[in-house]
Amino acid sequence: MTALLSARDIEIRFGGVVAADGIALDVFEGDNLAIIGPNGAGKTTFLNICTGYLAPQAGRVTFKGSDLLGQSPRAITRLGIARAFQIPQLFAEQTVLENMLLAAASRAGRLAPFSRLADIPEREDAEAILHQVGCSDVKERMASELPEGKRKLVDIALALALKPTVLLMDEPTSGVASSEKFAIMDTLIGALRAQHVTSVFVEHDMEMVSRYANRVAVWSTGRIQKEGAPAEVLSDPEVIRTVIGG
């Protein structure tokens, strides 16, 4: 089985901090890959590299065999890699629905100057995604007015509206009330499966990892310390010591 997204020999350092020192990681089709590791290990940096926001000092990242490094986030998004953010990145002065429609219009290549955004044929789709993540009730609200949990979900919905092949998420449920976390992740993972979206998520909550990931990679001191099925990785004494704490 060939990897969909593949990173090799990634090296990046910020001053004296080594975030990646020979990272090799593969994402296969249909994966729900969780990346775990101590704070500041470089997990988010990895998402930044895969989406063209940062350039590593060395290494290669390929998507379906073609090189991603040197491409802009915009070009990479168009290739089918979407990203959701740890801190929600929304258009604060537009409504939730307008946020979604803009994403859908971009995906469909509808950036014509005189059609109405509200009338694009993808509207139904966009509303369905909002419904899926449980945000239909706030679609007419300004993005700036939403509570943190909803902002987080709309952020993910925006990425989903791009109909990506791969979705990269940075702590998808941080900030979401813990009573709702699992319900939301259940629908999210269900939606990803239904749309055949491969996902990678950076996560700190080990319960989330064991429930939703099919593979786990442990990122520590700039390397992939361990990789494998959640049950196996999370019970590894070394991983417990460095990441989970105990």
User: Site residues (CB under 8 A) for another protein?
Assistant: 51, 72-74, 77-78, 82-83, 85, 89-94, 98, 101-103, 105-107, 110-118, 120, 140, 142, 144-145, 158, 162
Closest CA to 20 of 233, 224, 216: 224
Token readout for 202 is 């950076």
Give the number of residues written for the chain. 246
Nearer CB in complex with another protein: 90/135: 90
DSSP 102-157: HHHHHHTT---SSS-GGG-TTHHHHHHHHHHTT-GGGTTSBGGGS-HHHHHHHHHH
Closest CA to 83 of 141, 169, 155, 153: 169
The strand pair at 17-27 and 5-14 is best described as: antiparallel
The 198-202 sheet, strands edge to edge: 81-84, 166-170, 198-202, 32-36, 215-220, 223-228
Token readout for 67 is 């090189």
- As measured in angstroms, the least distance from the Cβ of 218 to another protein is 27
Nearer CB in complex with another protein: 48/220: 48
Nearer CB in complex with another protein: 49/233: 49
- As measured in angstroms, the least distance from the Cβ of 36 to another protein is 24
- As measured in angstroms, the least distance from the Cβ of 2 to another protein is 25
Nearer CB in complex with another protein: 72/235: 72
- As measured in angstroms, the least distance from the Cβ of 81 to another protein is 10
- As measured in angstroms, the least distance from the Cβ of 225 to another protein is 29
Nearer CB in complex with another protein: 143/206: 143
Nearest-angstrom CA–CA distance, 39 and 55: 21
- As measured in angstroms, the least distance from the Cβ of 110 to another protein is 6
Nearer CB in complex with another protein: 95/242: 95
Phi, psi of 164 (to 5 degrees): -80, 160
